[in-house]
Structure 1
Amino acid sequence: MTTHRLNMLAVAVGLAVSSVSVQAEESQQVKADEKIEVISVLGSRMANRTATESTSPVDLIDSDDLNKGGFTELGQSLQATAPSFNFSRTQVSDGSDLFRPATLRGLQPDQTLVLINGKRRHNQSIFGLNGTVGAGAAGTDMNAIPLIALKGVEVLRDGAAAQYGSDAIAGVINLSLNNSTGVTTGYVQAGSTGEGDGDTISIGLNRGFDIGDDGGFINFSVEYRDADGTNRAERDIGGSVDVPAGTLSDEVRWGQGNADSEFTSLFYNMALPMNDVELYSFGGYSNRTALGNGFYRNFDQAAKNVVQVYGDGFLPRIDNEAEDISFALGLRGEINSDWGYDVSAVYGENTYDFHSKNTINASYAAEYVFNNPGASDADIIANAGPSGGYSGGFRFDQTTVNADLNGTLDIGRADPIYLSVGAEYRKENYEIVPGEEASYACGLANMDTSYPSVNDPNQFAECGFQAYNGLRPEASNDESRHSYAVYADAETLITDAWQVSAALRYEDFSDAGDDIIGKLATRYEVNDDFAVRGAISSGFRAPSLQQSAYTAYTTNLGASGELEQSFTATAGADFPSALGVDKLELESSENLSLGFVWDVSSELSLTLDFYHVEIKDRITLGSLMSAEDVAFSPEAVAALNATGAEQANYFSNSVDSTTKGVDIIAAYNTDLYDGAFSATFAGNLNETEIDDVNAPEGVPDSVALDDLQRSFLTDGQPGERATLTFEYERGDYNSMVRFNYFGETDVSYFANDHIPLGDNFKATSTVESAVLVDVNVGYHLSDEVMLSVGIDNLFDQTPDELGEDEVLDAISNQAFKYPLRAVPYGFDGMTYYAKVSFSF
């Protein structure tokens, strides 16, 4: 088949197989003898272009590099190899025990487009709520995809919405599935933390089979992972019915760390040539569970607890379950020697469910005591309702159909125009599933009635389960939408040294409107060793259904430091409408990039790329507001009171922002003492500024965008990231030392600017900059089996421990050891592992 047969969304399935690090685009050139015949990459339609010859910066990361080190999750592995990629940790935030925000260049998770084999991947059904990095953004669940299934990853670090569609404001990540045949590969890995917890076992197996005699294949991947939880919390001073508050507890009662989790997945990749047509298909299934923690409920929190049931208080648990299904089917072939076509359909579905455990609905016992004033403790316990149950869930599915033509136009010059044209149709559905009645009900009768708490008649008992208040039927939703797009992409060589490309796209969403966007990019070779490249593009992102159709009751910390019932209103509901927000609009963006590629010598290469991204009408999830916060609007106060919650928030196009920065990559490869040595430095400097707050008339800027939101947008992710990796391979031995640098993060959440406790407490919550060191040594026991051992975070780097002047220390009764939010490298400290890999 013609090498020009690239569809409009296609990227290379094949990446180079390498014995040295390929975490940067430049190292691809060094391994020219190991490249497949044609390397096609993101950002280019020209089939004879390598990454360093592309007009846009592209990182090529092969499977060997993804699997070096002890990381078993795709998100962690990408963070260690591509510094523009962030994978922040969050604790005690609904759902965070399973998904983490995956971002490029400090933007939101839903502003990066993820592809598999060049086809759009569906987003997850859930997003981080208020007080997290990526709050309100339903990105792609990177950890739903097993590492064993991947041949490699390509990361396009440039705005590409005109080429690939809505969401590609920050860039594009393409995941290429394994297409090998005739070989069985796999691994068994076991590890633990330096604290002796978090024992993990992971097993992966891959096998490909030939189909027919014309290059057909089918490749299967299976991966299983089981991990014990970790806990870095400490003993607290919350007290109990037998121990006065202020006395240190005998045991650790709170939870801070990774959850007990289990992961099972099965993926496949297939292609079957049939004369001049190739049928292809790929897809997968994954299921993950994680048992997370809420805030500990103290024994004397009468609105939330019943001391007859939990005399010491209780730690509510949230059992999270995520299930992911995807399936793609397509036909591609030749029209003639110059033109080819590709027609495909991709279906993806993500479901997320919450089950509450070790919890209570305090209103059940309160109603019983109200109707039976002389009830005994035994009677109260017997009528306190269930200690757990189903709290609700979310569903999202997406079907994408593409039809593309790709080929060349001969215009009488030495180089033709490479042209791609195509169309896309997409259908999306989003559903909110209510929980069982006990998870949200007000008393057994579930009436609109408040009952005095069992243990303090001056307080009313809260309705619903603690930690994850059930999704109510009135908050359930089932919405759908569709979109279509047409697009064209052209690329050519003006001269042997000057390459130019242009893309144009029109896209229309049934619920959010339409837009026309474009991109111009160029690359000029000054000489054989030095080239400059740059691009200018416009882009957009339509509000997701997860944003426009989301509504729920949750439990969050209020400004007093107490947990309060909260409500998130759908776009156009009474509360946001009273504050001037009737619907969500398209985000729009302008992206500029300029850089160079320099082969300093045959052993050393360097790239430097500057970028400047302006986003208008950026969608944010507002902070929770009380009646006092919106007292300037009687209509908003009335709408808030009608929800029955103490505080509420909503989505809006509240922000205009500018993100600018620079990516630098240097790769050095040489022979050393009869072995191969490589050193790769990859760094990112990034800064986001708020240009304007889009507050409706009569609404203060602090309501449209308060300091909590602002801090996550501008300082919630490291402004500086870098990795320095040294690798050496000789004979049967190989080794790696990697330095990971994370810049400081500084947010207002869980600090005095969020919960004012007095002048003696710190205004913000800071996670200091840190360098984590990973080491790995491998030895080939035979041609088929390799043993590797390693330590991640060798020097046990963790965030600075909380002091007595930290709000989080005070509100957790000294239980939390580290900050909870905007932690880029986690809480666990050192981990170690042993891994046996095999191939036969």
Structure 2
Amino acid sequence: MTKLRTLLVTASSFAVAAAISPAFAQDDTTQSSDELRQGEIVVTGTRTANRTALETAVPVDVFPVEELTETGRVELNQILATTVPSFNFNQTAINDGTDIIRPATLRGLSPDQTLVLLNGKRRHISALININGSVGRGSAAVDLNSIPTSAIGNVQVLRDGASAQYGSDAIAGVINVILREADHGGGLNIRYGAHVTDLEGLDRSEVDGQTTNIGGWAGFGLGNNGFLTVSGEYSLRQRSNRAGLDPRQQFPDTPAYAEAERTFDRLNHVYGNGRMENINFFFNSGYTLNNGVELYAFGGVQEREAESPGFYRRAIDSRNIPSIYPGGFLPIIGGDVTDYSLGGGFRGTASGWDYDVSAVYGSNELDYSVNNSLNVSLGPDSQTSFDAGSLAFDQLTINADVVKTFYNMLPGETSLAFGVEYRDETFEITAGEPASYIQGPFPGAAGSQVFPGFTPESEVDEGRDAAGIYGEIEWVPNEKTLLSAAVRYEDYSDFGDAVTGKVAGRYEFTDQIAVRGAIATGFRAPSLQQQYFTAISTNFIDGVPFEVGTFPATSPAALALGGGQLDAEESTSYSLGTVITPTNDWFVTIDAYQINIDDQIFLTENLGGDDVDDVLADAGVTGVQRVRFFQNGIETETKGVDIVTKYGFDFDAMGTLDVSAAFNYSKTEVTYVPENTVIPSLTLFGRDRTLTLEESAPETKLILNADYSYQQADFNVRATRYGDVLVPSTNPDNDFTLESDWILDASVDFHVSEKFSVGIGADNILDEYPTMTPDGLSFNGIFPYSSRSPYGFSGRFVYARASYNW
């Protein structure tokens, strides 16, 4: 570790000293439509400038912001799910913090196995770790929805393992969000829409989920050698509700409550999107000094207020106090998210070496509140709103990179790149107010209903640092051949080190046909959240307290049951593909891949019973009845193929038509689940968890898109076919399948003038819903649709928009 830090300081000093040398020209990351047809310039997956997406040795997709904003969707996760076929995003509901910071997956892998970059620099992950039953259980991933579309220039998706190039997390691939770069001009966009839907299988129609989005950006020149682009966005989404009526008895079975029972509003649950309000401000800037060195800075902040409704507590529920809520109550988890980042650095050229030195700081904090609730153990005097505590994650990353192309080292061109990185991370849990977790003098569960606050025993303040060094070579011996190799070493202060490598190549048989492929090893370091997250709630049975919750992997309870220090996940990936370009306006790419992951980290089931009690007692752990913790050991194999094609038609006076198709097939198999070494009969990872890893994403997904422009009108039609998805259970008899479905989106925009346009559209215009949950599995019909649906369960969304550009 000391040697790596010394190397980092040395590299930084070299770059500072070189600042007096001329800088190399920076490429604009925004391309015209004609350039996009020829192949997009990429800055992801390669450190060689001026390489297009069709010339790389591994698949990279580039999506300009104009393509990302063709539909009515405003969240980046939703947008990518209808743009990238191997990217999936579920609509969670009644899932605590996961409803507020929702995870997404790439190529069927865990949300934390995809690396996210902002302007090519590592983005910080969220403070939230998903511990409930959603897709991505046990993961802490980047919150892509914290980046507003108004700030984006384009998004580049590297569909290949890249840990040797970028470090931890890049097992499934890399998503690089490039911020808008402009020194003049600007735009203002206003969008309003709502779900207008007939609920399939329910005798009800709804107009809800009203969404207002106002965003804008402006570019300013900084003298003659710089730019500053600022953007802002405000969005407000109201609740949507797809719950069924509650048929259960609500009040005591006495004549005094007969009228209340008869007239009770049985739409008492909220099952859908909770209310959410976001405010974002981002900036991107650069300035070139007289000596050619470019200074740059970028960053942004988001404030989010969101809600996650829970299960309704009936009037007769033991968790209710009738004197406070005579008719029962619906508790609401509130989440206030503050996410911000600030990065900057300088880049230039010294002695023919291009260098880039940067530092980026990012933070994500989630403050929990519980409203319209109570602590039943405090009796009739219980408060109804609570501060339930908070989670916070901070990350500081310092990079120094150098690259140079040689023309006489080997035949052709040879590019060498080297770099070092230092990263410091911290994770904190802060306890809630006492009323949110204490056990009062009255019988009943302790803490605020729906979400007991974090206790002082759950408080965490932990950190770690990591340092890494990498080397990379790209060799172009002739016009037809590209070969590359990379190796990386990283050392973590908490669990140890990791070495990864990658080799890739591309060969052109003709100007129209090329093959490409790669072999790579990868790793993902255990997150601080996985190592230290603690959530303990106290329950009383016959007056005896016992604890139920999640414990750190190195806690006495976890160690007694076979837990221990978490290690890195390790992967080996293979890809082989072809690039076909019959004409300048048409290309087809086909890429097959296989990803094997060992020592995958998972969250165990709730472990309890007499054997567990005996082991814990022998280890001196008392008062614990149910234990779960994180552990290494799952092994998986993922196989798939991506097919992408685009073609452009020019009809002269009749306009232009761009059509594209993107297809993904992906299949994950869990090849090994570890047994508990202390109590072999314990089930560490249940059947439903295994099938969630294997079947949570559709095995096939097809996206067809058409853009037609004629005079002052632009038309877009997008059809997405989602394959079957299994909704698993611990009991095989309760498994059911969400059948494949087509989702059709359509919009039209009219250019009223050169600067002003208006448009209308509808997402899911045919108002499709997923297969209904079978009777007996839908909680008395209250939850008629599964949150495992790959396209959600909100129904049709219609919208209007207007934009003004200058």
Equivalent in the alignment of 2:634: 655
Q: What is the alpha-carbon distance in structure 2 between the residues aligned to residue 247 and residue 534 of structure 1?
A: 67
Measured after TM superposition, the shift of residue 322 of structure 1 is: 0.8
- Identify the range of structure 1 (475-484 vs 684-693) with the bigger mean alpha-carbon deviation: 684-693
Write the letter of the residue equivalent to 2:671: D
Contact 1:640 1:647 survives alignment (8 Å): no
- The unaligned stretches of length 5 or more in structure 1 are 7-11, 20-27, 366-380, 445-450, 453-460, 557-563, 754-761
Equivalent in the alignment of 1:615: 597
Matched, 1:823 2:803: no
Equivalent in the alignment of 2:30: 15
SS at match of 1:652: strand
Measured after TM superposition, the shift of residue 633 of structure 1 is: 6.8
SS at match of 2:589: strand
Equivalent in the alignment of 2:292: 276
Matched, 1:668 2:635: no
1:30-64 Cα distance to aligned partner (Å, 9 max, x none): 247xx7xxx34312222131110000000100010
Q: What is the alpha-carbon distance in structure 1 between the residues aligned to residue 28 and residue 684 of structure 2?
A: 44
Q: What is the alpha-carbon distance in structure 1 between the residues aligned to residue 263 and residue 57 of structure 2?
A: 61
SS at match of 2:798: strand
Matched, 1:356 2:327: no
Measured after TM superposition, the shift of residue 237 of structure 1 is: 2.0
Equivalent in the alignment of 2:278: 263
- Once the two structures are superposed, the pairs formed by residues 689-700 of structure 1 within 5 Å of their partners are 689-700=669-680
Contact 1:342 1:405 survives alignment (8 Å): yes
Counterpart among 60, 63, 75 of residue 61 in structure 1: 63
TM, length-normalised to structure 1: 0.88
Q: What is the alpha-carbon distance in structure 1 between the residues aligned to residue 338 and residue 132 of structure 2?
A: 24
1:614-646 Cα distance to aligned partner (Å, 9 max, x none): 001000112223326xx26721477798355x5
Measured after TM superposition, the shift of residue 777 of structure 1 is: 0.5
Equivalent in the alignment of 2:17: none
Counterpart among 439, 447, 468 of residue 451 in structure 2: 468
Q: What is the alpha-carbon distance in structure 1 between the residues aligned to residue 465 and residue 530 of structure 2?
A: 15
Distance 1:413 1:816, change over 3 A: closer
Equivalent in the alignment of 2:160: 158
Q: What is the alpha-carbon distance in structure 2 between the residues aligned to residue 728 and residue 124 of structure 1?
A: 39
TM, length-normalised to structure 2: 0.91
- Once the two structures are superposed, the pairs formed by residues 348-387 of structure 1 within 5 Å of their partners are 348-365=362-379, 381=380, 383=381, 385-387=382-384
1:681-705 Cα distance to aligned partner (Å, 9 max, x none): 1011111111112334344376232
- The unaligned stretches of length 5 or more in structure 2 are 1-20, 197-205, 540-545
Equivalent in the alignment of 1:240: 251
* Percent of aligned pairs with the same amino acid: 38
- Once the two structures are superposed, the pairs formed by residues 380-779 of structure 1 within 5 Å of their partners are 381=380, 383=381, 385-443=382-440, 451-452=442-443, 461-553=444-536, 566-627=548-609, 631=611, 634-636=614-616, 642-644=622-624, 646-672=625-651, 674-700=654-680, 703-749=683-729, 752=731, 762-779=733-750
Q: What is the alpha-carbon distance in structure 2 between the residues aligned to residue 794 and residue 639 of structure 1?
A: 60
SS at match of 1:143: helix
Equivalent in the alignment of 1:374: none
Note the aligned Cα RMSD (angstroms): 2.3
- Identify the range of structure 1 (284-293 vs 405-414) with the bigger mean alpha-carbon deviation: 405-414
Distance 1:569 1:520, change over 3 A: same
| Dislocated runs of 4+, deviation >6 Å | 1-6, 244-248, 637-641
Equivalent in the alignment of 1:297: 313
- Identify the range of structure 1 (412-421 vs 719-728) with the bigger mean alpha-carbon deviation: 412-421
- Once the two structures are superposed, the pairs formed by residues 313-332 of structure 1 within 5 Å of their partners are 313-332=328-347
SS at match of 2:325: coil
Distance 1:158 1:136, change over 3 A: same
Contact 2:23 2:292 survives alignment (8 Å): no
Q: What is the alpha-carbon distance in structure 2 between the residues aligned to residue 482 and residue 248 of structure 1?
A: 60
Q: What is the alpha-carbon distance in structure 1 between the residues aligned to residue 721 and residue 804 of structure 2?
A: 32
Write the letter of the residue equivalent to 2:395: Q
SS at match of 1:815: coil
Write the letter of the residue equivalent to 2:675: A
Q: What is the alpha-carbon distance in structure 2 between the residues aligned to residue 823 and residue 715 of structure 1?
A: 11
Matched, 1:107 2:73: no
Measured after TM superposition, the shift of residue 249 of structure 1 is: 4.3
Contact 1:579 1:633 survives alignment (8 Å): no
Contact 2:38 2:584 survives alignment (8 Å): no
Counterpart among 211, 214, 218 of residue 200 in structure 1: 211
Distance 1:632 1:681, change over 3 A: same
Write the letter of the residue equivalent to 2:238: D
SS at match of 2:343: strand
Distance 1:415 1:718, change over 3 A: same
Counterpart among 45, 50, 53 of residue 51 in structure 1: 53
Contact 1:623 1:709 survives alignment (8 Å): no
Distance 1:823 1:101, change over 3 A: same
Contact 1:627 1:640 survives alignment (8 Å): no
- Once the two structures are superposed, the pairs formed by residues 789-828 of structure 1 within 5 Å of their partners are 789-804=760-775, 806-810=776-780, 814-819=781-786, 821-828=787-794
SS at match of 1:344: strand
Equivalent in the alignment of 1:22: none
Q: What is the alpha-carbon distance in structure 2 between the residues aligned to residue 59 and residue 359 of structure 1?
A: 47
Write the letter of the residue equivalent to 2:340: I
Equivalent in the alignment of 2:230: 220
SS at match of 1:690: strand
Q: What is the alpha-carbon distance in structure 2 between the residues aligned to residue 807 and residue 433 of structure 1?
A: 36
